[in-house]
């Protein structure tokens, strides 16, 4: 009986240690992701110097976190119109075991190819990203933009309109407006933006 009590106490002690390690690991990961959301916000607001400084101060504990950092650096270089440098960071995370990271790296590479005028590659990478995660909006917009540029305008506007009917976001409204602008149809372009502003009158980008 005494031996059983000792064994039970040892088991309880080790179990407590495992729980504590698990809790601290989960807490650190949650804190890390919260920091990345803040950094993403700075990138979206074009506060790139602040975003870079925050990234440099962010502690990295595993490969997954490094992949997430790489994606953000790639996005920053796209923002400053350095697609070749952005590509280097996206490729670092291209073979990630995490599907979300893989999808984001493919979107980044699609953006790079779009900037470089390699439209078929942009479509290919976008389609691969959609295959992994069909909920992403950006690769569908990239496909529409690329198809517009290669002369498949009707298919492109169908993609954009379908997106707009399901998710009336500023990004999609801007993409549709850009589509009409590319065909010198300013009336339609303005109409899309005015329609969006009726629902969200304070959107600065629109």
pLDDT (tens digit, 9 = 90+) per residue, 35-70? 989 998 888 888 989 998 998 888 888 999 999 999
CATH of region 137-206, choose from 1.10.10, 2.40.128, 1.10.4100, 1.25.40: 1.25.40
- The pLDDT confidence band at residue 1, using thresholds 50, 70 and 90, is low
Query: What is the CATH T-level fold of the domain 32-117, as seen in this structure?
Result: 1.25.40
In whole numbers, what is the pLDDT of the chain averaged over residues? 85
pLDDT score at 206 = 85
Domains 32-117 and 137-206 share a fold: yes
How would DSSP label each residue in the chain?
-HHHHHHHHHHHHHHHHHHHHHHHHHHHHHHHHHHHHHHHHHHHTT-HHHHHHHHHH----SHHHHHHHHHHHHHHHHHTT-HHHHHHHHHHTTT-SSHHHHHHHHHHHHHHHHHHT-HHHHHHHHHHHHHH-TT-SHHHHHHHHHHHHTT-HHHHHHHHHHHHHH---HHHHHHHHHHHHHTT-HHHHHHHHHHHHHH-TT-S--
Sorted by where each begins, the domain ranges of the chain are 32-117, 137-206
- The pLDDT confidence band at residue 148, using thresholds 50, 70 and 90, is very high
Of all residues in the chain, the percent with pLDDT exceeding 90 is 44
- Residues 100-145 have pLDDT tens digits of 999 999 999 999 999 999 999 999 999 999 999 998 899 999 999 9
pLDDT score at 71 = 94
pLDDT score at 19 = 46
| Residue range 66-78: mean pLDDT, rounded | 93
Q: Please say if the pLDDT value at position 76 is more than 80.
A: yes
- The pLDDT confidence band at residue 170, using thresholds 50, 70 and 90, is confident
Q: Please say if the pLDDT value at position 82 is more than 90.
A: yes
């Amino acid at each position: 009986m005494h031996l059983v009590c000792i064994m039970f106490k040892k088991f309880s002690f080790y179990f407590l240690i495992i729980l504590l390690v698990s809790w601290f690991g989960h807490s650190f990961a949650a804190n890390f992701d919260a920091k990345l959301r803040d950094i993403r916000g700075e990138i979206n607001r074009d506060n790139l110097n602040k975003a870079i400084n925050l990234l440099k101060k962010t502690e990295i504990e595993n490969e997954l976190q490094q992949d997430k950092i790489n994606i953000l650096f790639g996005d920053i270089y796209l923002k400053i119109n350095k697609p070749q440098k952005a590509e280097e960071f996206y490729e670092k995370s291209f073979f990630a075991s995490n599907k979300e990271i893989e999808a984001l790296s493919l979107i980044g590479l699609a953006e790079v190819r779009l900037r470089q005028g390699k439209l078929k590659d942009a479509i290919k990478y976008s389609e691969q990203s959609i295959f992994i995660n069909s909920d992403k909006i950006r690769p569908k917009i990239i496909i529409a933009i690329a198809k517009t540029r290669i002369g498949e305008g009707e298919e492109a506007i169908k993609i954009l309109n379908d997106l707009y009917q399901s998710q009336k976001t500023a990004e999609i409204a801007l993409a549709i407006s850009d589509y009409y602008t590319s065909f010198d149809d300013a009336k339609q372009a303005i109409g899309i933006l005015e329609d969006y502003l009726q629902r969200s009158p304070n959107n600065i980008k629109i």
